[in-house]
């Protein structure tokens, strides 16, 4: 991509509408109601010259039917939706076959989309490039280096200078992309927090919650895949939302050249935990998490029928600030809370890291928190000096909308 492209004619606008339809027809979007509505609204407003109307409150009213005087602070539906749409757009362009399509991007910090062609050529000769695309100081999680660099197209009529310019541009983009990846996983705050795990000589054990959920399994006939057979079986499954933090953290360790292994909670033994550092994902469905956090200042608690679950502060045991009501959770929009705790377990004398939400949204947010340079640097500035060299426990909160978690926020920090 060379420069932002501004549509000038009806033909240009039609090209954008066609690209929008490609995006909305893709599985990243068509299985949702909220994200297509948001994207279609902001794109339509933009190409009709109404970008100035794309304010958070306006989008909330027009797309999500919010009251004109609604509180954007307590109801972050527009911001959460925009963040998810950015991710899905990046995933779309990462998929093979979209390399030469018109790029429709939603920059961080606003709701007005921008458009780019993947090469220096601007079609129709009707639109004008606005400015050269430069590296922005936007938050790293909004950068999607995995989208990749579109292949340079050099036609026989291009000059040697043009060929060299394209080659230099491609190399520069690759270098910038590599630098972004390096920076994400070599950020000072992330380095400090994860250093004890990376420097350990033993592989890291990920202990993830598991469930015995199915008594049968449906298999397809090899000769006739449309024909299905249901057989008796006993399967151990994991929650897909627990996989997200696992992938994030395992990817970070892999970039650092660190070996790791994954085990289900039921298959993990004390002997396993004594062999090296461990990471525990999930709370109320992971026995090890509950055991490890029980003596900590911040720990999980619940009422007798499990209809209310909360994180309890040992210094304020009657406080229910960090409480989740199961009835509210089942509606799909709720506030979730999580514990991130890195400490030496006195039972094994090994380093332990707990990454666990009360519900699934909290676990996803906690996994995002630990690999995001913005959040980790915020924590580094909030925590006491030298906190990353000690045992540390953090309570996080996140707003979940339509069962998708928003950005994690630090609610409390304790160091010992």
For the segment 61-109, what is each residue's pLDDT rounded down to a tens digit? 999 999 988 888 878 899 989 989 998 998 898 888 888 899 999 988 7
Q: Has residue 279 got a pLDDT over 60?
A: yes
Q: What percent of the chain has pLDDT over 90?
A: 43
Distances (CA, A) of 161 to 134, 154, 157, 166, 173: 22, 11, 12, 9, 18
pLDDT recorded at residue 283:
92
Q: Has residue 135 got a pLDDT over 80?
A: no
Q: Which residues contact 225 (CB under 8 A, 6 or more apart)?
A: none
Average pLDDT over residues 196-204: 91
Same-domain check for residues 117 and 250: no
Question: Measured between alpha carbons, how far apart are the two ends of the chain, in Å?
Answer: 49
Q: Which residues contact 70 (CB under 8 A, 6 or more apart)?
A: 57, 60, 61
Among the candidates 89, 113, 130, a domain finishes at 130
Same-domain check for residues 200 and 344: yes
Q: Has residue 112 got a pLDDT over 50?
A: yes
Same-domain check for residues 227 and 124: no
Q: Has residue 151 got a pLDDT over 60?
A: no
pLDDT recorded at residue 3:
65
Is 255 contained in some domain?
A: yes
pTM over 0.95: no
Q: Tell me the C-alpha distance between 359 and 9, whole Å.
A: 49
Q: Which region, left, alpha or beta, applies to residue 349 given φ > 0 means left and ψ of -120 to 50 means alpha?
A: left
Is 156 contained in some domain?
A: no
Q: Tell me the C-alpha distance between 42 and 28, whole Å.
A: 18
Is 167 contained in some domain?
A: no
Q: Has residue 124 got a pLDDT over 80?
A: no
What's the pLDDT tens digit per position in 207-223? Answer: 998 876 556 777 887 88
Number of folded domains that form the chain: 2
Q: What percent of the chain has pLDDT over 70?
A: 80
User: In degrees rounded to 5, what are phi and psi of residue 325?
Assistant: -90, 125
Same-domain check for residues 284 and 398: yes
3-state secondary structure of 204: strand
What is the CA 365 to chain-centroid distance, rounded? 8
Same-domain check for residues 256 and 328: yes
pLDDT recorded at residue 34:
87
Is 63 contained in some domain?
A: yes
pLDDT recorded at residue 303:
94
Structure confidence at residue 234 as a pLDDT band (50, 70, 90): low
Is 183 contained in some domain?
A: no
pLDDT recorded at residue 43:
94
Mean confidence (pLDDT) of the chain:
81
| 3-state helix, strand and coil shares in percent for the chain, rounded to the nearest 5 | 40, 25, 35
What is the CA 330 to chain-centroid distance, rounded? 22
Give the single-character DSSP code of 36: H
Same-domain check for residues 216 and 284: yes
Same-domain check for residues 273 and 344: yes
Is 184 contained in some domain?
A: no
Is 155 contained in some domain?
A: no
Domain that includes residue 246, residue range? 190-415
Same-domain check for residues 395 and 273: yes
Among the candidates 130, 159, 182, a domain finishes at 130
Average pLDDT over residues 29-58: 89
Higher pLDDT, 162 or 36: 36
Same-domain check for residues 196 and 312: yes
Q: Tell me the C-alpha distance between 235 and 163, whole Å.
A: 56
Among the candidates 81, 104, 130, a domain finishes at 130
Average pLDDT over residues 351-369: 93
Same-domain check for residues 83 and 200: no
Q: Has residue 180 got a pLDDT over 90?
A: no
Average pLDDT over residues 324-339: 92
What's the pLDDT tens digit per position in 298-327? Answer: 999 999 999 999 999 999 999 999 999 999
Q: Has residue 254 got a pLDDT over 50?
A: yes
Tokens of 314: 């040992």
Same-domain check for residues 122 and 256: no
Average pLDDT over residues 396-403: 91
Average pLDDT over residues 281-310: 94
Q: What is the DSSP string of 257-319?
A: T--EEEEEGGG--HHHHTSS-EEEE-STT-HHHHHHHTTSSEEEEE-TTSSEEEEEETTBTT-
Is 164 contained in some domain?
A: no
């Amino acid at each position: 991509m060379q420069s932002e492209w501004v549509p000038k004619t009806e033909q240009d606008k039609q090209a954008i509408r066609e690209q929008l339809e490609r995006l909305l027809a893709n599985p990243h979007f068509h299985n949702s109601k909220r994200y297509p509505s948001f994207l279609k609204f902001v794109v339509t407003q933009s190409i009709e010259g109404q970008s100035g109307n794309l304010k958070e409150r306006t989008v909330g009213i027009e797309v999500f039917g919010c009251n004109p005087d609604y509180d954007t602070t307590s109801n972050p539906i527009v911001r959460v939706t925009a963040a998810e749409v950015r991710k899905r757009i990046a995933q779309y362009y990462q998929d093979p076959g979209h390399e030469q399509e018109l790029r429709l991007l939603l920059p961080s910090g606003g709701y007005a989309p921008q458009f780019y062609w993947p090469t220096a050529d601007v079609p129709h000769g009707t639109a004008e490039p606005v400015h050269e695309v430069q590296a922005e100081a936007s938050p790293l999680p909004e950068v999607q280096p995995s989208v990749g660099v579109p292949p340079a197209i050099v036609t026989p009529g291009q000059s040697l200078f043009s060929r060299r310019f394209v080659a230099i541009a491609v190399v520069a983009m690759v270098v910038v992309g590599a630098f972004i990846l390096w920076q994400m996983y070599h950020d000072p705050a992330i380095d400090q927090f994860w250093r004890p795990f990376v420097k350990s000589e033993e592989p890291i054990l990920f202990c993830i919650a598991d469930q015995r959920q199915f008594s049968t399994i449906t298999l397809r006939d090899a000769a006739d895949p449309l024909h299905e057979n249901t057989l008796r079986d006993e399967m151990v499954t994991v929650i897909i939302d627990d996989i997200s933090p696992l992938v994030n953290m395992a990817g970070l360790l892999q970039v650092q050249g660190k070996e790791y292994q994954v085990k289900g909670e039921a298959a993990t033994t004390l002997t396993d935990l004594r062999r090296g550092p461990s990471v525990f994902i999930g709370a109320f469905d992971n026995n090890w998490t509950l055991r490890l956090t029980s003596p900590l200042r911040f720990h999980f608690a619940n009422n007798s029928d499990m209809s209310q679950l909360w994180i309890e502060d040992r210094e304020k045991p009657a406080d229910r600030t960090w409480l989740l009501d199961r009835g509210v959770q089942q509606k799909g929009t709720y506030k979730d809370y999580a514990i991130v705790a890195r400490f030496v377990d006195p039972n094994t004398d090994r380093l332990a890291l707990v990454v666990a939400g009360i519900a699934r949204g909290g676990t996803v947010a906690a996994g995002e928190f630990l690999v995001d340079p913005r959040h980790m640097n915020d924590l580094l500035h909030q925590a006491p000096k030298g906190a990353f060299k000690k045992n540390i426990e953090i309570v996080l909160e996140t707003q979940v909308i339509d069962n998708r978690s928003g950005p994690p926020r630090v609610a409390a920090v304790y160091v010992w």
